[in-house]
Structure 1
Amino acid sequence: MPRIIVCLVLFAMPLSLAFSQATTSETEKVRQLIQTGKYVEAEALGKVQVAKTPNDPEANYQLGRAIFYQDKFAEALPIFEKVASLLPTFAGAPKFIGDCHFGLGRFDQAERAYAKAMELDPKAPEYVLDRAKALMKLGKPSDAEAGFRKSLDLDPNYIPAMFAYTNFLADDGRYREAEGLLTKALALDAKSAYGWSVMGDVLRKQKSYTRSEDAYYQALDLDPKRLRALDGLSKLFMAQELFKDAEDVTRKLIEADPNGLPYYLRLANLIDELRRYPESEAIYQKLIKDHPKYADPYVDYGVSLWRQEKNKEAEEQFKAGIAVDPKRAWFHYTYGNFLRQSKRLKEARSAFEEALKLEPNYKEAKDRLDMVKLEIG
């Protein structure tokens, strides 16, 4: 489960206005440990403090945070629910209840919890933003966009909302709007490696390649192992057919994330483009051996073999990939192209039909199917 990113500062201070009991030195120590990222130590001390004062809302709250920041969402959830019962007017409790549900993939319950936090503190933009993100997960983009806008109405300079809304706009293909909002966000926080990475993506999708490259390098100057920047820069060089540059960046990407299987596959694809087939073959074969349920390497290896006119071996890989994941329209489309070039037109027709069955709006598959039908006569 991806880590839930929340603002440590916002909920880190002793909540003297919310909690009626004075903050004890032990609870303050728990808070400080959390602030410095020492969550395991904070959890151990927090449990001792809660055992001493089981109905102290802040002691429970800080314990919940210590557990939450270790991504132990199911364990943290009942603690925050207890805080909510002890202190019904404190918006931070339903906020973290929502975060726990979000981390567990229960987006409907997360949305309801965030709505409760908004009810308790209607002027806090972060709760509106949290709810908007939950609405996106629930497949309600119109409601989510209204939430992003409302969050920015409450605080026009709220950078997390700017970044979240930028991603929404970019995913919707509204790149100009995304670029404008992101430019404003980066004017407020020019040291955001994340923000520059997103800017690189937005500009790349507009084919503004020079500016995109500059944005990615801005991000990497701030954080040399920023995955989104390395990933985007690799894709940028691929789009320009600068395969050696893309290879170099992809190797850095693998160094930053050694467990990212798609990056190894991309590296093999790039080495293929450079016609260094023995090297790419070694990567494909290792991926297939180590991860037999990962279908993509079979098909990409098939394409590599097809390029080398090793058609028998290529077909074996296409069939193996489809057997592992028969629901991938692109696999059937690629196999159909192979069959068509091999003059096996009826089999190619069946492959393109299967691709369209899985993905009815697959334009390339429809075009190829029409061509094959004409060729069959």
Structure 2
Amino acid sequence: MKIAKVLQLSLPFILLLSISAFGQSGKTAFDQAMSDFDAKRYEQAISGFRQAAALGYSVPEATYNVGLSYYNLKRYTEAKGALQEAINLKPTANAYYYLGNCFYFAEDYSRAGDSFREAVRLKPDYYEAVVYLGNSLDYLKRYDDAVAQYKRAIELQPNRAWGYYELGIAHYNSQLYSSAIGALSTATRLDPTYTKAFLFLGMSYRRSDNEKDAETALLKALQLDPNSALTNYELGFIYEGQKRDADALARYKEAVRLDPTNPDPQLGLGNLAYNGKDYLGALQYYKRAFELNPSWATAALYIGDTQYNLRSYQAAIDYYRKALVLDPKRVSAMYGMGLAYIAQNDLSNARGQYTQLLKMDAAMAAKLLKAIDAASKP
């Protein structure tokens, strides 16, 4: 019987074979993970990329892809860990960008801004990172710095609507409505399907007392997205001001249907009922608005006014008091409370309201005093 001859290999050659074998299996795992990633099988992709990294194949890239897979699964905490690990191995603009997004979605705008800034440092023409850096700064109330980033993004891609839109939003949030209109108009010109740009363009026009152009922009936004609760509300507000009550009612009701948690259209429906002297109907809507936003002084004030018209004077006083707790300078609540005290024949407290009101609004105080004097006459 023949005995098989054993081939003696030197140690360095054996190690080389081992590394080659691991490298090959690592590449196989990496390639399969890429296929899983492209097919949106992110859990399998994570396992494959981790296997590739464990085998020493493209470790920084595999680790980054683990983070990106978690990111696409919206598991941002795990994505942050993997992306930070990838950055420690090999800093890249993309790794910093997606790390910034993880912080951004967690509303940690300071660290988001730091990450986006690093992405831009590594890749100065990284448009998306520049815009998100601007957004982070805007959330941090650093208006001038945010505007500078948006203008930088516009310089990078002057024909892309997104930068103009975000610039417009920054102006809008700072109540610079004329500047907002300029930026948002450009955004809608560059992208005639940019729903949010039309919406905020309309809102900017409305706050500039240009209801005609506001309605035009908002109707375009509604055409693009009929299911926007905010667009329906904004149109309702315009129609209410124009005393187009039927149109306002339709838009407010649609806004409530689309977003029952928004107190604004509830208040609008209350206004329509109140102006139509349907005080019980108004009370229902105003109370719902106040339930949804218990820190809203206007809702409390309007409940007080409605209770007064329903001759529920103590309830009116209670809600006027709530309005004043929320907004101590709300003149209408002081005046209304004074009238409610008069209606209860409590002239002493009515005079107390007059004294308080006199410090804030002499004309309203004089009006209340006239009512007190009239009630004092036999």
Q: TM-score, normalised by structure 1?
A: 0.75
The 10-residue stretch of structure 1 (23-32 or 120-129) with the greater mean CA deviation from structure 2: 23-32
Higher-Rg member (1/2) = 2
Tell me the secondary structure at the aligned position of residue 231 of structure 1: helix
Larger RCO (CA within 8 A; separation ≥ 6) = 1
1:81 and 2:84 are equivalent in the alignment:
yes
CA distance in 1, matches of 2:146, 2:160: 16
Give the alignment partner of residue 154 of structure 1, picking from 145, 153, 156: 156
Counterpart code for 1:210? K
Check conservation: 1:299, 1:318, Cα contact below 8 A: yes
Give the alignment partner of residue 352 of structure 2, picking from 343, 346, 356: 346
- Residues 176 and 337 (structure 1 numbering): CA distance in 2 closer, same or farther, change over 3 Å? same
Q: Provide the identity percentage.
A: 18
Q: Deviations over 1:163-205 (max 9, x none)?
A: 0111222333443333233222222211111121122112222
CA distance in 2, matches of 1:283, 1:118: 49
Give the alignment partner of residue 237 of structure 2, picking from 235, 238, 241: 235
Check conservation: 1:243, 1:274, Cα contact below 8 A: no
CA distance in 2, matches of 1:291, 1:181: 33
TM-superposed CA distance for 1:66, in Å, is 4.9
Counterpart code for 1:266? G
1:372 and 2:365 are equivalent in the alignment:
yes
Q: Deviations over 1:226-253 (max 9, x none)?
A: 2332232122223323333222101111
Tell me the secondary structure at the aligned position of residue 53 of structure 1: helix
Give the alignment partner of residue 337 of structure 1, picking from 335, 344, 363: 335
Counterpart code for 1:45? Q
Give the alignment partner of residue 34 of structure 2, picking from 27, 31, 35: 27
Aligned-residue RMSD, C-alpha: 3.2
Counterpart code for 2:352? K
The 10-residue stretch of structure 1 (98-107 or 69-78) with the greater mean CA deviation from structure 2: 69-78
Hey, what does 1:47 align to over in structure 2?
46
Check conservation: 2:236, 2:251, Cα contact below 8 A: yes
CA distance in 1, matches of 2:132, 2:305: 43
- Residues 196 and 27 (structure 1 numbering): CA distance in 2 closer, same or farther, change over 3 Å? same
Tell me the secondary structure at the aligned position of residue 224 of structure 1: coil
Hey, what does 1:273 align to over in structure 2?
275
Hey, what does 1:220 align to over in structure 2?
222
Give the alignment partner of residue 127 of structure 1, picking from 126, 129, 135: 129
- Residues 312 and 100 (structure 1 numbering): CA distance in 2 closer, same or farther, change over 3 Å? same
1:319 and 2:321 are equivalent in the alignment:
yes
Q: Deviations over 1:17-70 (max 9, x none)?
A: xxxx7962443443443xxxxxxxx44334333443346555554554454456
Check conservation: 1:335, 1:351, Cα contact below 8 A: no
CA distance in 1, matches of 2:202, 2:289: 30
Check conservation: 2:34, 2:45, Cα contact below 8 A: yes
Hey, what does 2:169 align to over in structure 1?
167
TM-superposed CA distance for 1:269, in Å, is 3.1
Hey, what does 1:117 align to over in structure 2?
119
The 10-residue stretch of structure 1 (63-72 or 201-210) with the greater mean CA deviation from structure 2: 63-72
CA distance in 2, matches of 1:295, 1:180: 32
TM-superposed CA distance for 1:264, in Å, is 2.6
Counterpart code for 1:44? E
CA distance in 2, matches of 1:241, 1:112: 49
1:255 and 2:262 are equivalent in the alignment:
no
Check conservation: 1:125, 1:158, Cα contact below 8 A: no
Gapped runs of 5+ residues in structure 2? Answer: 1-26, 370-378
Hey, what does 2:9 align to over in structure 1?
none
TM-superposed CA distance for 1:109, in Å, is 1.3
CA distance in 2, matches of 1:370, 1:292: 31
TM-superposed CA distance for 1:370, in Å, is 7.1
- Residues 250 and 371 (structure 1 numbering): CA distance in 2 closer, same or farther, change over 3 Å? closer
1:351-366 alignment runs, 5 A limit: 366=360
Check conservation: 2:131, 2:163, Cα contact below 8 A: yes
Hey, what does 1:208 align to over in structure 2?
210
